[in-house]
Amino acid sequence: MLKEPTFVPVGTQATVKSLTPEDLKAIGVEIFFCNTYHLYLRPGDKAIKKFGGLHKFTRWDGQLITDSGGFQVFSLGKDHNGAGSLIKISEDGVEFRSHLDGALHFFTPEKSIQIQHNLGADNIIAFDECTPYPATKEYAQQALDRTHRWAVRSLIEHKKLNKKLNQDLKLYGVIQGSYYKDLRQQSAEFICSQDFDGIAIGGVSVGEPKDKMRQAVEWVLPYALKTGKPIHLLGVGEVDDLFDFFGQGITSMDCTLPTRMARGGQFLHRTGNAKFNLKNRFKDQIMHIKYKNDQTTLDKDCQCPTCQKYDKAYIHHLFKTQELLGYRLMSLHNIYFMTHTTQLIRNALKDGTFEKLKIDWLGRL
RNA sequence: CCAGCGAGAGCCGGGCGGUUAGGCAACAGUCUGUAAAACUGUCGUAGGCAGGUUCAACUCCUGCUCGCUGGA
């Protein structure tokens, strides 16, 4: 499990897109996040189990965490360009229509946990519903109660399997509650009272304004901190989030953003001291015409493998020509930026210099 | 010299007497437990030139220019 602030890149299909395990090691990655739903569909959890589990399959000897499929209840539930919802939720579980071939699959909490045990990540997550935003209070309450019942079922199945398979996977329970204070607190109280190994905060970064997200986390944090267990913030990871949440005791967060942005040509960087916290302060687009002849690196003083050798003009060219190397170099850089910044935060928290560091970066506390 | 065909935005290109072609490129924006090497927006009254017919022409007609093909 993760004891210190850790940024967790996302490798949905058992790969952080475009990078090898050696790359990940080189840029300070300790753990990455795989997905139960996607790996269940392809290549299949049983296949992965036969290969000896995710670690052997991927040749990654660091830690791994799998998501339960709970986020897909949200993301596949949305209409994508009028394609219609691919899921149906009931008390027992969720009916998924595969986005690959339309076939029906049914996930229950037990099934999600079974799949996750087959996949064999070090850390796994209870099956939940990532509540869409906005949600009515009635719906949020109903979804929350169901998620709690699923949490208990997940926990029971997990303990059973850990014993049966002689494994010691760690299970995170997920707090939901949408954007209602009493529901969030109710959820925090319940999840924190159960025998989970870690606490995850979910249902955030689903389209809500950022101040609401911060508030929802703050409602819940006192309960989670009291348990002394690792606290994972699901799906969050803009640069300012690292400071806002690690600073308050969150121990890990995962996010697709650094890798997804990388593939879109956006690179993370830090330029000078911020007097105020401009949106987009930490990101820029390599394909902008102004970088066509720019022979400086993506970020001044960056120690990542990309910035050790390559300049903006070259990476600009790789993106304009859609060369695969561009995605790779940019992913290396962005993830390094996240892990390195997290490392700075770790150190500052130990030294007691965190507030100074945060003001230095964000221009605020 | 004659005949046939063709000419459209930076490039390619379908259609049509009236109302957005479309694609690519270019430029910009968006992305927070990945249906994402994705998505969105902008590319300005573009129609080889000159006339004619018509309420209305990129579309029909005439001439010219240029290009391709074939023939003397």
A110 C-beta less than 7 Å away from strand B: no
Q: What is the mean pLDDT of residues A282-298?
A: 95
Provide ipTM, 2 decimals.
Answer: 0.93
Strands A123-125 and A170-175: parallel
Q: Which amino acid is at A189?
A: E
Provide the mean pLDDT of chain A.
95
Q: Residue A294's closest CA among A305, A307, A280, A281?
A: A307
Q: What is the mean pLDDT of residues A248-275?
A: 90
DSSP conformation class of A18: T
pLDDT at position A274 = 53
Band (pLDDT 50/70/90 cuts) for residue A271 is confident
**Backbone CA torsion sign across A136, A141, A143, A144:** positive
pLDDT at position A280 = 77
A12 C-beta less than 7 Å away from strand B: yes
CB within 7 A of strand B (chain A, 122-141): 125, 128, 130
A320 C-beta less than 7 Å away from strand B: yes
A35 C-beta less than 7 Å away from strand B: yes
Band (pLDDT 50/70/90 cuts) for residue A357 is very high
Three-class secondary structure of residue A45 per DSSP: helix
User: Would you say residue A83 has pLDDT above 70?
Assistant: no
CA distance A196 to A215: 24
The pair of three-digit structure tokens given for residue A19, joined into one six-digit string:
């990078």
pLDDT at position A277 = 53
Q: What does residue A122 show for φ and ψ, rounded to 5 degrees?
A: -70, -35
Catalytic annotation present for A254: yes
The pair of three-digit structure tokens given for residue A147, joined into one six-digit string:
């998620």
A202 C-beta less than 7 Å away from strand B: yes
Q: Residue A173's closest CA among A114, A113, A217?
A: A113
Question: Whose C1' is closest to the CA of A80: which nucleotide?
Answer: B35
pLDDT digits (tens, 9 = 90+) for A161-219: 999 999 999 999 999 999 999 999 999 999 999 999 999 999 999 999 999 999 999 99
| Residue A184, C-beta contacts closer than 8 angstroms, at least 6 positions apart | A175, A177, A178, A216, A219, A220
pLDDT at position A84 = 74
Spatial contact of A237 and A253, defined as CB atoms under 8 Å apart: yes
Question: Whose C1' is closest to the CA of A127: which nucleotide?
Answer: B33
Band (pLDDT 50/70/90 cuts) for residue A98 is very high
Rounded to 5°, angle at Cα A17 from A14 and A21: 65
pLDDT at position A81 = 59
Strand B bases near protein CB (under 7 Å) are 25-40
Every domain range in chain A assigned CATH 3.20.20.105: 6-255
pLDDT at position A328 = 98
User: Would you say residue A85 has pLDDT above 90?
Assistant: no
Q: Which of A45, A67, A244, A284 is catalytic?
A: A67
pLDDT at position A78 = 83
Q: What is the mean pLDDT of residues A231-253?
A: 97
Three-class secondary structure of residue A305 per DSSP: helix
| Residue A206, C-beta contacts closer than 8 angstroms, at least 6 positions apart | A74, A130, A131, A132, A133, A235
Q: What is the mean pLDDT of residues A33-61?
A: 97
Greater confidence, A277 or A22? Answer: A22
Q: Span A6-255: which CATH code? A: 3.20.20.105
Spatial contact of A27 and A339, defined as CB atoms under 8 Å apart: yes
Question: Whose C1' is closest to the CA of A126: which nucleotide?
Answer: B33
Cα distance from N-terminal residue to C-terminal residue, chain A: 28
